Structure 1
Amino acid sequence: MNIAQTLSDIIVHKHTFSVPLDYQQSPSEQISIFAREIVSVENQHKPLPYLVFFQGGPGFGAARPVNNSGWIKRALQEYRVLLLDQRGTGLSTPVNAVSLSYLNASQQAEYLSHFRADNIIRDAELIRTKLSANEPWTILGQSFGGFCVLHYLSAAPEGVKEAYITGGIPSLTRSADEVYQATYQRVLAKNADFFKRFTDARTLVDNIAHHLYEHKVYLASGEQLTVEMFQLLGINLGMEQGPEAVYYLLEQALIDTRHGIEVNPLFLHQFSQFLDYNTNPIFALLHESIYCQQSASKWAAHRVRDSYPEFHYQPNKPLLFTGEMIYPWMFNQFEGLQPLSAAADLLAAKKDWPELYNLQQLANNKVPLAAAIYSEDMFVEMQYSLETAKQVANLKYWLTSEYEHNGIRMDGEHILDKLIKLNRGHSLR
């Protein structure tokens, strides 16, 4: 299917492809993959090469463009951009409790095991043969999209002409436990910075935590807002403008009424908009598996948290926010995750995850690869990124403290332009 649309300064073509759920099985159940192709108005009739964008996550659909701006503006100068809804996200056979309700827990876990980077790249390769006349194309990955890029260069480098990564160079060999040991340390640093910047935030946070500990408070969805759920707001501390958004939310959390201190309904409404676990369950179900190769995660973030007792809230103790961690209790507290709790346990126990990276192939990589590494990134350990950079041939990187993890969303035109110049041998000065 190919449907054309016109937005502000860009022409859009909507594509839908049928692909196997399991590429290792024939015949296999088929699922649908959606991709949005965009091209600038002035270039719409030119035979430009493709640039494919791999979204961060896992479990989030590609951006929905409204005009020719940001990194897309830079890319459209010389490419047709393909915004790929990775399998299970957006319009690509969505995964959620409703769509999986016809399966039992074991069947759900088996189904979900096919939604990692390896099959995302198999989908991309199938689509390339249909759209690009089998010519190699350029790929760009943000965050988890960078994991996809390195798998692409491991498994199907012949399909790639140039590659770019922003905020997402993973370790090729380290376990989920090692990743979270480093992650908790970075989250501690982000907490310290947050409470230093906003001097009354400590009082606001501790008052809210104490109130939630002493009273049962319910969100509009009917879910109880627990202290542990409140701590999850910390995922926003690692984003550009995230700390500011969290602080302004905290400011209006509690109100003084004739009946005493109550939680502001406005806060309860806005709180749910800061977290994506109900709307994007793949993020919770498969997040730890992106680090697993022939090993089980065994709820790594939950276990490693015991090494950092400062994150365990107690009354009259300062509360700290957590970060990009998934905990088993979330599958009891979030309404959209509850029906998938048993499947989540099975996925956490799964030991036979396939290898994601071919170390020899990457050591001999011939595809030009440029990456932006953010030294202050809360989500991706800088030292692990630099470690990987030494293991991948033909990789050039730009190390900067200018941006947080979502820098491409805030200053994408500048960031992508720098990476293109870096990949092509131009000076970054």
Structure 2
Amino acid sequence: MTTHYSLPHMQVTKLEFDLPLDYHQADGERIRVFARALERSDKQGRELPWLVYFQGGPGFAAQRPVSHSGWIKRALEEYRVLLLDQRGTGLSSPINWQSLAHLSPVEQAAYLSHFRADNIVRDAEAIRAELSADKPWTILGQSFGGFCVLHYLSVAAAGLKEAYITGGIPPLGRSADEVYQATFKRVVQKNQEFYQRFTDAEALVSRLRDYLKDHEVMLPGNIRLSVEMLQLLGIHLGMEDGPEAVYYLLEQALQTTHSGCKINPLFIERFTQMLDYNTNPLFAVLHEAIYCEQQASQWAAERVRSTLPEFAPEAEKLLFTGEMIFPWMFDCFSNLQPLKACAELLAAKSDWPRLYDAAALSQNQVPVAAAVYTGDMFVEMAYSLETAAKIRGIKTWVTSEYEHNGIRMDGERIFDKLIALNRGDCLR
């Protein structure tokens, strides 16, 4: 099925594909995978090569284009762009508690085991067979999208002409525990920077924590806001404009009324909007699984956090956490509660297939360029460079100019830089 519409300087086509849930059972259950194709209006019909974008996450749909800007503007100079809603996200057989309600927890876990990078790449190759069967295409992955790129290079490099990664070179041979040990250290640094920059933030946080201990503050879904939930705001400390958003929210958390100090209703609404766990449950359910190869995560982030007393909710100075999923979150968020038993089964799953082929990567023939951010709170720089050293021919741009979401903030420049790097154009 195809639908067409226009945006400023762009022509858009909506595409749907009927694909197997399990590629080892091609005659079994099918899912719908959605993608949005973009062409620059003045280049429409020229049969330009394809560039496929893999969104970060896991569990987030591809961006919804609004304007001819950012990395899309640069890409449309020489490509047709395919924005892929990875399976389970956006319009691609979306995953939520309602879509899984007819399954038992065991069946839910079995179903969701097919939603990692390996099957996302299989979907991409199936789509390439329809759109670009005779020509390899170019891929770009942001964050978790970079994990998909590396899997693509491991198992289906013949389908690729070029590959680009921004903030998303995954660790090879590192356990989930090692990943969180490294990223918790980064989170400590981001907390320190936050409190140093906003000098009254510590007092604001301390006052709000004391209020939450003594008062029942309810979120939508009849869930009580706990100090541990407040700490989850730290996921924004590793983003461009994220610390500012957290600070301005904290400024308005409490207000003085005729009957005393009260929680500001605005805070409740904005707090809920700043966390994605209710709207993107796949992110919570599968986040630790992206690091697993033939081993179980067993709630690695929670296990590592238990060794770090500075992150305790009662610590003298409250520290925010980062991109970590904790088992108690499945008691706190209303749209995660029905998936709690499934999440426990996935955390205990130890037979996850391998995602990366070190031998294939060492013999890589595809031109690859990657932006590695020195202060990345989500993807540890040291592990990214460790992996890059094992990929034949990769070119890395290591920079302190951007946070993890740099491609959203300055995508045109970043992507142009990577294209020049990949093609040996040192003048750009």
TM range, normalised to the smaller chain?
over 0.9
User: Which residue of the partner structure matches residue 203 of structure 2?
Assistant: 203
| Distance in 2 of aligned mates of 1:272 and 1:415 | 31
User: Which residue of the partner structure matches residue 94 of structure 2?
Assistant: 94
Gapped regions of structure 1 (runs ≥ 5):
none
| Distance in 1 of aligned mates of 2:87 and 2:14 | 16
User: Which residue of the partner structure matches residue 320 of structure 2?
Assistant: 321
5 Å matches for 1:222-233? 222-233=222-233
- Partner SS state of residue 27, structure 2: coil
Q: Could you tell me which amino acid in structure 2 is paired with residue 274 of structure 1?
A: M
- Partner SS state of residue 13, structure 2: strand
Comparing 341-350 with 255-264, which one deviates more in the overlay? 255-264
Does 2:88 align with 1:80? no
| Distance in 2 of aligned mates of 1:289 and 1:78 | 36
CA contact (8 A) 1:364 1:393 kept: yes
| Distance in 2 of aligned mates of 1:12 and 1:164 | 23
CA contact (8 A) 1:4 1:13 kept: yes
- Partner SS state of residue 306, structure 2: helix
User: Which residue of the partner structure matches residue 169 of structure 2?
Assistant: 169
User: Which residue of the partner structure matches residue 361 of structure 2?
Assistant: 362
User: Which residue of the partner structure matches residue 190 of structure 1?
Assistant: 190
User: Which residue of the partner structure matches residue 253 of structure 1?
Assistant: 253
User: Which residue of the partner structure matches residue 347 of structure 2?
Assistant: 348
Does 2:112 align with 1:112? yes
| Distance in 1 of aligned mates of 2:275 and 2:57 | 13
- Partner SS state of residue 103, structure 1: coil
Deviations 1:366-421 (Å, cap 9, x if unpaired)? 00000000001100111001101100001000000000000000000000000000
CA-CA distance at 1:294 after TM superposition = 0.2
- Partner SS state of residue 174, structure 1: coil
| Distance in 2 of aligned mates of 1:385 and 1:73 | 27
CA-CA distance at 1:258 after TM superposition = 2.2
Q: TM-score, normalised by structure 2?
A: 0.99
Does 2:338 align with 1:332? no
Comparing 84-93 with 256-265, which one deviates more in the overlay? 256-265
CA contact (8 A) 1:231 1:321 kept: yes
Deviations 1:297-343 (Å, cap 9, x if unpaired)? 0000000001211101117x211100000000000000000000000
Q: Could you tell me which amino acid in structure 2 is paired with residue 32 of structure 1?
A: R
| Distance in 2 of aligned mates of 1:27 and 1:92 | 19
CA-CA distance at 1:150 after TM superposition = 0.2
User: Which residue of the partner structure matches residue 371 of structure 2?
Assistant: 372
Runs ≥4 in structure 1, deviation > 6 angstroms?
A: none
User: Which residue of the partner structure matches residue 311 of structure 1?
Assistant: 311
Deviations 1:215-263 (Å, cap 9, x if unpaired)? 1101233221111111000000000000001100000000112222110
| Residue-pair matches, total | 428
Gapped regions of structure 2 (runs ≥ 5):
none
Q: Could you tell me which amino acid in structure 2 is paired with residue 321 of structure 1?
A: F
User: Which residue of the partner structure matches residue 382 of structure 1?
Assistant: 381
User: Which residue of the partner structure matches residue 414 of structure 1?
Assistant: 413
CA contact (8 A) 1:32 1:92 kept: yes
CA-CA distance at 1:30 after TM superposition = 0.1
| Distance in 2 of aligned mates of 1:402 and 1:314 | 35
| Distance in 2 of aligned mates of 1:385 and 1:280 | 26
| Distance in 1 of aligned mates of 2:382 and 2:21 | 35
Deviations 1:344-386 (Å, cap 9, x if unpaired)? 0000000000000000000000000000000011001110011
Q: Could you tell me which amino acid in structure 2 is paired with residue 362 of structure 1?
A: L
Q: Could you tell me which amino acid in structure 2 is paired with residue 115 of structure 1?
A: F
Deviations 1:162-192 (Å, cap 9, x if unpaired)? 0000000011110000000001000000000
Does 2:150 align with 1:150? yes
| Distance in 2 of aligned mates of 1:126 and 1:394 | 27
User: Which residue of the partner structure matches residue 58 of structure 2?
Assistant: 58
Q: Could you tell me which amino acid in structure 2 is paired with residue 347 of structure 1?
A: L
| Distance in 2 of aligned mates of 1:302 and 1:349 | 14
CA contact (8 A) 1:129 1:135 kept: no
Q: Could you tell me which amino acid in structure 2 is paired with residue 92 of structure 1?
A: S
User: Which residue of the partner structure matches residue 394 of structure 1?
Assistant: 393
- Partner SS state of residue 195, structure 2: helix
User: Which residue of the partner structure matches residue 124 of structure 1?
Assistant: 124
Percent sequence identity over aligned pairs: 64
| Distance in 2 of aligned mates of 1:49 and 1:307 | 50
User: Which residue of the partner structure matches residue 71 of structure 1?
Assistant: 71
- Partner SS state of residue 15, structure 1: strand
| Distance in 2 of aligned mates of 1:313 and 1:269 | 22
- Partner SS state of residue 307, structure 1: coil
Q: Could you tell me which amino acid in structure 2 is paired with residue 357 of structure 1?
A: Y
| Distance in 2 of aligned mates of 1:68 and 1:313 | 44
CA-CA distance at 1:25 after TM superposition = 1.7
CA contact (8 A) 1:109 1:343 kept: yes
| Distance in 2 of aligned mates of 1:151 and 1:172 | 11
Q: Could you tell me which amino acid in structure 2 is paired with residue 395 of structure 1?
A: I
CA-CA distance at 1:119 after TM superposition = 0.1
CA contact (8 A) 1:418 1:428 kept: no
- Partner SS state of residue 269, structure 2: helix
| Distance in 1 of aligned mates of 2:117 and 2:25 | 18
CA-CA distance at 1:428 after TM superposition = 5.9
CA contact (8 A) 1:422 1:428 kept: no
5 Å matches for 1:288-307? 288-307=288-307
Q: TM-score, normalised by structure 1?
A: 0.99
CA-CA distance at 1:26 after TM superposition = 3.8
Does 2:238 align with 1:238? yes
